[in-house]
Amino acid sequence: MDFNLNHNQDAAVNAGLGPIAVIAGAGTGKTRVLTTRIAFLIEHMGFKPHEVLAITFTNKAANEMKNRIRKLLPSIIYGNICTFHSLCLRILKEDISILNRSLNFRLIDDEEQETLISEIIFTNNLRLNIGPGLTSKKVRGYISDIKRKSIDVKSLNDLKKIREYFSIHDWNMFNAVKNAYLFYEEKMQENNLLDFDDLIINTIKVFEKDATMVEKWRNVFKYVLVDEFQDTDKNQLTILKYIINPDFNNVFVVGDEDQTIYTWRGAYPQIFHDFYKTFDNAQTFVLNLNYRSCKKILHLSNELIKKNTRRVDKQLITDNDDGADIVFYQGQNEGEFVVNKIVELMKEQHFNYSDFAILYRSNYLSRNVETSLINKSISYYMYGGIKFYQRKEIKDMIAYLRLFEDHTDELALKRVINVPRRNIGLTTIQKIVDYATRYHLRFSQALELSADLSYNLPWPTSNIVNFLEFIVAFKKQTETLSISEKVLYLLDKLEYRKYLEGLDDDYQERYENIEEFINSIKEFELANPNATIHDFLTEIALYTDSGNKQQQKNTNTVSLMTIHTAKGTEYPVVFIMGMNEGITPATHMGSCENLDEERRILYVGITRARKMLFLSRQTGFSFKDNSPLVVSRFIGELGKEHIIHVSEQATAINSVDMSWFDSHNKVNYEDNYDKNAEPIEVGQTIVHTTYGQGLVVDKIGNYIEVLFKSPHGKKTIVSNHKSIKRLII
């Protein structure tokens, strides 16, 4: 049977029985090897289709594998491919009675879980002393942690351990979570329900309780294969130990520890080490011939990932062309650079929009490039996220700004009248709408009647009066503040961050979105010093237009996504934005282990690219923490070969010297500043080590805005940065 494989692939597929680990680098054909191995087992090694079990992590991957096997074995029906959860569901449907549970249990989804938890919180008054921060979604996450980590919450009385397990810092919250969990488990038992975590946990309990169940399932599956093995957690590995017969250890796992980027979901890079400890004398095959990327892209990825420790050493190679040099852009118009490059490549090399992917470490980074895409009327699709100006927290802030501009704006009033919560519910709002309609009033006019005691209104008025007074007082108190200062003041007065924490588990990402929104306002203020709220709202109207909502994916759009979402995809041209310290990697002061994870994330991003790769970063300074934007330490780890460095005007500049970076040491950014520097004033001339001579045209706090000669233009710099070599008086 000719499978048309390369040497290493063929060796893995034709290997004998016993434990086998296939270390499959990015783009090396791991799915092809796994599906071909299944065909080989059935066609040449005498296994019956129902004896061969293949486990993968998504239903989509399972369907793709079934289609491939159908082509390899057209005369055989093979459907024994499943996820870990569907495997456990099959086992429990037959044997959960071992745990004194009915076989007629029902599996509930995340939404049903949250509904049940909400009822428990409300019925048992669990928000007492905690408030709205105890959300059903957050509690669902805590319950999942309790189950996956086998935490005995009844006897847990060590606050240090509680912080470690849940990041909970006070007893009230922990006790509420503990009680919610206990009530939840009671309800699940009463109603014969299971959630997705129960599938894994109860399957392990079945095997632990009855050895005959272990023997039964070991006889059902004579050979087990696991796809994406690096994403396997410890509980799933335990299930593998139970269902694989130790007399034969017929297990075949395929994965790549260099692509372990889901440690927050329980995956861990040492999974292959544990595999070798569990299954003695395992054979190892390394797939390193990459079919996806050009040589220069692979060189970059190899240089990066070899800095990680505790990994199987492998160099990806390819028979593909050298390809284009990798471009690294640094400038204050990162989004414009990316979009202009897309337009240029479309024109000169006849790419389609669907050939481009724009990747970033976190969703908040999409704002800059979304603005540029919309300005150029380029269609784009955002995977796994919501477009920046359509995100709830951004729309809330815009609604408040609209009210400060026009307190009668009906849509803005309805949006934020109960944000944060003021006990002005939908029923009250509907009563106001009905009243306004009956008496031919605007919604705002009906609202304002709440302050007039002579009216017998059909809704409670005190909270509405407080809201209206807040809007009036806020406008008066912030008359002299800039737009960005108004928003910062608003966040403080509303305790909006606290409100977000009580909203859902995505509050950290929502914080980042708010900070990026403030960043966009400050950028606008720098360019338009005397601008009003009206000017700003007019400027962003194009991006907030309701017609620009998340569209259905069509066949020819630019793809935007986080690097995590991009795993498993590939594109001819890939842009990776945000190559700044604190973004990629996501922390300045991470431990070596965290840096290894951040390095793997970037590695996954780089290896999505087939023909061309562009890296970029924003220069200037961060309004978020009032510090300069520093180039990512990973740029220095990529080496200088095959990288073209490009400046603001997209002209080549000298390669950046990154030798001062050591990824395993903390960086002392204070060394970049002169604490004894003389103050700089508007109108003075300075000399900068990179940009040359320039005129100081504005001063904002500790930052100066300097007009440099072409091609550099206007830059914002920290006034005591050592890059300012001297002053000319």
Which of the residues are catalytic?
30-31, 227-228, 259, 608
Q: Helices 110-123 and 136-148 sit at what angle, rounded to 10 degrees?
A: 110
Structure-token pair, residue 715: 């830059």
692: left (phi over 0), alpha (psi -120 to 50) or beta: left
C-alpha 284/C-alpha 21 separation (Å) is 5
Strands 714-718 and 627-628 come out as unpaired
Angle at 36 between CA 35 and CA 37, to 5 degrees: 90
Which letter does DSSP use for residue 319 in this model? S
Per-residue tokens: 487:
């928003």
Q: Which residue has the tokens 């007492």?
A: 128
CA distances 447 to 165, 402, 428, 490, 683, Å, are 47, 17, 11, 22, 52
CA 528, distance to chain mean position in Å, is 33
Alpha helices in 591-676 (DSSP H): 592-606, 633-637
Residue 431 backbone dihedrals phi, psi, to 5 degrees: -65, -40
Peptide bond connecting 711 to the previous residue in cis, omega within 30 degrees of 0: yes
Are the C-beta atoms of 96 and 69 separated by less than 8 Å? no
Q: Which residue has the tokens 């608003």?
A: 490
SS (H, E, C) 438-491: HCCCCHHHHHHHHHCCCCCCCCCCHHHHHHHHHHHHHHHHCCCCCHHHHHHHHH
User: H or E segment at 113?
Assistant: helix 110-123
Dihedral of the CA atoms 231, 234, 236, 238 (nearest 10)? 150
In whole angstroms, how far apart are CA 459 and each of 423, 424, 452, 680? 12, 10, 13, 59
Token pair of 64 as six digits: 């793709």
For the record, the structure tokens of 497 come out as 């961050």
Give the amino acid at 179: N
C-alpha 474/C-alpha 487 separation (Å) is 11
What is residue 678's three-state secondary structure?
coil
C-alpha dihedral (197, 199, 200, 205), degrees to nearest 10: 120
Residue of 257, 337, 336 whose CA lies nearest to 22: 257
Tokens in use for 386?
Answer: 């919501």
DSSP code at position 97: G
First to last CA, the chain: 83
Q: Which three-class secondary structure state does DSSP give residue 64?
A: helix
Residue 656 DSSP one-character state: P
Give the residues across from 332 on adjacent strands. none
Rounded CA separation 543/376 (Å)? 12
User: What are phi and psi for residue 535, nearest 5 degrees?
Assistant: -60, -45
